[in-house]
Amino acid sequence: MKRFRKGLIARAFSWTLVVAMVVPWLASLAPVPAAAQQVARGTVAVVDFTVRPGLQQAILSRAATDAVAIELSRAGFNVLPRTQVQNALQELSLEPVLDRLGVMKLGKTLAVDSIVSGEVVAVTVEGSPRTARVTILVRVTDVASGEDVNGAAVTGQSNPRVGYVGDDDQLIREAISNAALQAATTIASYTIPEATVLNTVGTDEVLLNRGTRSGIQVGMEMIVLRGRDVVGRIRVTRPSTSDAIARVITSTLGIQPEDKARAVFKLPTVQFDRGKVKITEPRAKPKSAGISNLGKALVVAGIVFGALQIGKGGSSGVEGPKAEAIVDSTGPAVKISWRPSVFAQANADRILYHIYREPADPTRPRVPVATARSNETYVIDTTATRTVNYVDIPPGQEVDSPDLEEEEDMPGVTAGQSYRYAITLVYRFLSPLSGQTGGGTGGQQQTEYTYRESDRAWTGQATPLTQPVLLRPANGSEDANLSSIDFEFQAVAGAQAYRVEVSTDPTFQNKALSFFTDEVLLPAGATITIRNVNLSAKFSGAQRLFWRAGARNVNDQPGPVPSPGDNRGQYRYIWSEAFSFRPVVEPPPAP
């Protein structure tokens, strides 16, 4: 295996690499959003929710507690049975409203990772058709540290029912169920930022190995752990894309290199005033105006450290990886896209991108499902079986020359199955070697290349979906009552949320001409029906209307590719083909 020779050539090459990285890095000081990641599921215990004064205590508490427990279980968490949690509370003489010590006692007794608690903040039933709205606040508290690590504040509402004369309690239970689904989805999609302490700086600062690319932000507070023990607390002051400087707030046992730092989660605040609910998400503190000389020195040191890590193969070749469901000419598919990282832009010897899919084929877990040329920034993963030509580099190793492998019959995606993707960059280093070819003093210097594969950069989840099949109003029908119309279509495997778009524009690109129904979550049955939609105000006098249905998986991040005209990505759905219908001609009023 060839290595860089210690000496003038090696040092010159190292500093050339550093300079090549510093220049593009200085132009990229703005924070880059962290790619969505799959949350690590754990074992949780859900304690009874509290209810704000003035609301029905027992009914709402039990309904919200059970609904959140069910949705967290569906999202992949291991949720302990209610009876086991109640028995432990009774044995410990604890009330459901737990302080930090109570959380740690209950968690250790039940041997869980987190305690989930919450509050029913507001309940309203009003409007025509009568609709219930319920706002809940959900808190996930880490047992080891007693700190909040996740949570959500959401408002769920019941599906409108024209002419409904039933009990309001049924509408409230439906709103609670929808709120619980939103809360579990929010919690499951969040990954708390974590980092490792690389070194201490003076007496009151530390250098972390993660930066804005991993979700580290200015003003973020983090607890520092050594094993399961909390040894300190820090606040991020100067993050870059790949590392960060943080100030020590408290240090009980002294912060050391290799300690782990984990962000402190800040719950949204919920206010209920005069019948209105206001949810405020916490914001990071404003970025400081500049970087001190010490910070600049540490940044350069961090880049040198990063260059050395790159020399060992420890760098990401892409930024902002994302996976989005689409439908192309072959059917359901996933578009995987990325941007070249600072390192990739500075490295002219980029060879190939590898794209891996999870869950992987267990018989070929290390084989990418697709590759892309070094100047490409996306690929499409279809349902078709394919042959993949990739560079075979064993994990943790480097090779002197690329070994191009061919893998035949690599399976495509399955409609309704959810996937995550990882992108790596295969690149090479020029390795100047001593010695001469041909003997004597007139020979030429020999050069060889060393090939490596970068770290994997993961996307969020994507679920390829078939297009919904429309049923009614039938295509070309001419008897639609615009004041009360039902839309019916077939459910899609792998989707839990649906919506209908109606427009006078057959291309649906001019959103000013469109009407969108409310989103329907987790409907039961093989068909979806959105009933009693009133289009008369929006489309009075329209001669012909077009409609389509959209489906999505609520756990996909960021969701399907936006359709043309959806410039802000507000309606990320897999849309059906369009049907058209004509409104019924009303008879003229009697004289």
Q: What are the structure tokens assigned to 383, written together?
A: 């349902």
Maximal C-alpha separation, the chain = 115
* Candidate from 293-297, 317-321, 560-564 with smallest mean pLDDT: 293-297
Give the number of other CB atoms < 10 A from CB of residue 308: 13
Q: pLDDT grade, residue 211 (50/70/90)?
A: confident
Locus of tokens 């490792």: 196
Contact of 222 with 233, CB cutoff 8 Å: yes
Please give the pLDDT value at position 439.
47
How many CA atoms are closer than 13 Å to the CA of 515, on its beta-carbon side? 16
Length of the chain: 591
Each residue's pLDDT tens digit, 278-289:
777 765 433 333
Which domains are delineated in the chain?
8-30+312-458 (no CATH), 43-188 (3.40.50.10610), 194-307 (2.40.33), 470-583 (2.60.40.10)
- Give the span between the Cα atoms of 214 and 32, in whole angstroms: 9
Region of 570 (left: φ > 0; alpha: ψ -120 to 50; beta: rest) is alpha
Each residue's pLDDT tens digit, 431-484:
544 344 444 444 555 567 788 888 889 999 999 999 999 999 999 999 899 999
Q: Where are the alpha helices (DSSP H) in 412-544?
A: none
Locus of tokens 């405020």: 280
The bridge status of strand 50-51 relative to strand 114-126 is parallel
Residue 302 has pLDDT above 70, yes or no: no
Write phi, then psi, for 383 (nearest 5 degrees): -80, -5
Give the orientation angle of helix 168-188 with respect to helix 57-74, to 10 degrees.
40
Please give the pLDDT value at position 53.
78
3-state secondary structure of 46: strand
Please give the pLDDT value at position 22.
40
Number of H helices, E strands in the chain: 7, 34
Each residue's pLDDT tens digit, 82-138:
999 999 999 998 887 788 888 888 988 999 988 999 898 888 888 777 788 889 999
Please give the pLDDT value at position 39.
39
Mean pLDDT of 319-346: 88
- Give the span between the Cα atoms of 432 and 424, in whole angstroms: 26
Q: Where are the alpha helices (DSSP H) in 286-363?
A: 293-311, 342-346
Which residues share a beta bridge with 521? 497
Contact of 303 with 22, CB cutoff 8 Å: yes
Each residue's pLDDT tens digit, 215-226:
888 888 888 988
Q: What are the structure tokens assigned to 243, written together?
A: 């590392």
3-state secondary structure of 505: coil
Each residue's pLDDT tens digit, 234-289:
999 998 888 889 999 988 888 888 889 988 888 887 777 666 777 777 654 333 33
Highest-confidence segment of 110-124, 233-247, 321-335, 514-528: 321-335
Please give the pLDDT value at position 41.
65
Residue 384 has pLDDT above 70, yes or no: yes
Q: pLDDT grade, residue 375 (50/70/90)?
A: confident
- Give the span between the Cα atoms of 246 and 225, in whole angstroms: 15
* Candidate from 97-101, 275-279, 325-329, 486-490 with smallest mean pLDDT: 275-279
Mean pLDDT of 339-355: 78
DSSP state of 23: H
Residue 348 has pLDDT above 90, yes or no: no
The pLDDT mean for the chain works out to 81
Q: What are the structure tokens assigned to 488, written together?
A: 């019916």
Q: What is the 3-state secondary structure (H, E, C) of 400-464?
A: CCCCEEEEEEECCCCCCCCEEEEEEEEEEEEEEEEEECCCCCCCCEEEEEEEEECECEECCCECC
Please give the pLDDT value at position 162.
65
